[in-house]
Structure 1
Amino acid sequence: MEESLSLLGAIRKKFVCDRVDIRTYSPLTLAFVGDCIYDLVIRTIVVERGNTAPGVLHTKKSSIVKAQAQAAQADALMEELTAEEQAVYRRGRNAHSHSAAKNASIGDYRKATGLEALYGFLYLTDQTDRLLWLIAKGLELTGQQI
């Protein structure tokens, strides 16, 4: 029987990706990946909880992945983060992006970017259990329903 790989491990194996020292990634690169992985997790939950029209799925997903919701989760999760996780979050939050969310304050956008950087870091270091725990805890602490 073939050994099971994480999604990250399977991608690295299939596409022969060299491992790079995660500390060399810019916080915005981590946020680029974190945004996607967070969106994928939330989309998966929405779809797994009911097969419905794409517009309904999009509305459910959008209420959770918008910058304001992520900023609320970031604030709620601070006491749950390790020192290393807080440092990654701060690097992402403080990074100077050349774009901004259309419907969010600068503060919320930066907090959301910090949270996405943290999620990107956890994904790229193959800490899936921790990533999913933090997402679930952030939803729980903010009372956000999917």
Structure 2
Amino acid sequence: MTEKNWALLNGLALAYVGDAIYETYIRDYLVNQGQTRPNQLHRMATHFVSAKAQAFLMHEMISAELLSEEEETMFKRGRNAKSHTSAKNADITTYRISTGFEALMGFLHLSGRKERMEELINWCIQKVEETNDAKK
């Protein structure tokens, strides 16, 4: 099989994969934390995977200058992609930023950069947990 240049894939295709990958990591994390009740799992997962949460995390990553130039480019590719769907619970700007977040995760996954993807996901989990703790 030839090496694919995943950086050439359109932003929505990257986001499609990234959405599934990120959600799987979050579900694993929550179950590993001892959460087992489906309603509670779903409610807790939204703190990590909602468009609002992903847009917040993306802003935080950019502010902290965590991303390489290539990673920011992949985020922008997803953010700027023309989607024919709209968010159920978010404004269009928030939705587009979250699509960019998912595109970044999809790119890292597809290009075999698992260690980097997990580094960013773990950072995101820690950031959400800190934010939730501050609200308590």
TM over 0.5: yes
> Map of 1:112-131 to 2, 5 A cutoff?
112-131=98-117
Cα deviations by residue, 1:32-89 (Å, 9 ceiling, x for unpaired): 0000000000000011111421111111112210000000000000111000001111
Unaligned residue ranges in structure 2 (runs of 5+): none
Tell me which of 96, 107, 115 is aligned to 2:82: 96
TM-score, normalization by structure 1: 0.82
Unaligned residue ranges in structure 1 (runs of 5+): 1-16
Residue 139 of structure 1 contacts residue 145 of structure 1 at CA under 8 Å; is this kept in 2?
A: no
Q: Distance in 1 between matches of 2:20 and 2:2?
A: 21
TM-score, normalization by structure 2: 0.87
Tell me which of 2, 7, 27 is aligned to 1:43: 27
Larger Rg: 1
| 1:77 equivalent in alignment to 2:65 | no
Aligned twin of 2:16: 32
Residue 54 of structure 2 contacts residue 97 of structure 2 at CA under 8 Å; is this kept in 1?
A: yes
SS at match of 2:89: coil
Cα deviations by residue, 1:94-134 (Å, 9 ceiling, x for unpaired): 11100111000111101100010000000001111111111
Please list every run of at least 4 consecutive aligned residues from structure 1 whose deviation after the TM superposition is greater than 4 angstroms: none
RMSD: 1.8
Read off the aligned partner of 1:108 and give its amino acid letter: T
> Map of 1:2-21 to 2, 5 A cutoff?
19-21=3-5
Is 68-77 or 56-65 further displaced after alignment?
Answer: 56-65
SS at match of 1:69: helix
Q: Distance in 1 between matches of 2:66 and 2:8?
A: 25
